[in-house]
Structure 1
């Protein structure tokens, strides 16, 4: 390997130079001269009209969209009874005891209905269904 001599190799010139001697003495004067002069603020009459028109338009849009959004969210949150019944009937891992544990007293009162079947209806069901043991066990 070659012998490396730091002082003998030509060095790369730096891109930075020191400023003139009077640079820092005149810096504040030069800086203040380059600043833009302050001009008084002018407020356009049309700008106020535009902001009022924009405000009225925004209120009008909100007044039209909020009721439709509220009705759409209420419809989505309600469960359809047919959908709920289909879901429960096709879920094989849900049994009657699971449903009983989830229901509270108010739900049970809502479910409680007096169903009055005529004797003829009961006979028709028993005749048409051969599996009577399920009715006895339930």
Structure 2
């Protein structure tokens, strides 16, 4: 590499020059720009239309979300007969059923029940409550 000396070697010009009297006129140009007439600033929140629009948007959003969440489909669950029967046996007794029956329902039930002596005897022997029924 060739050694060079900054003081003895010829200087290279950059090619960039400033216009004549650039720095002398710069202060005057800046002051002219600063003294330009101020524009009137209208605050955004002092307009009544913006307030009304904000309130309307809030009400629409609240109403839309309410309708959206209330109209969600309820997941369908299928219940088999055993599950329903187990629930009814655990939570509903015969007195609850009797309170909801009227005369026509009771008459329909009486007509549909057919008792024969063999079925009654088999039931009584299976449940060991024979003494209770015989004493009444």
TM tier, smaller = 0.3 to 0.5
Pair member with larger Rg: 2
Query: TM-score, length-normalised on structure 2?
Result: 0.36
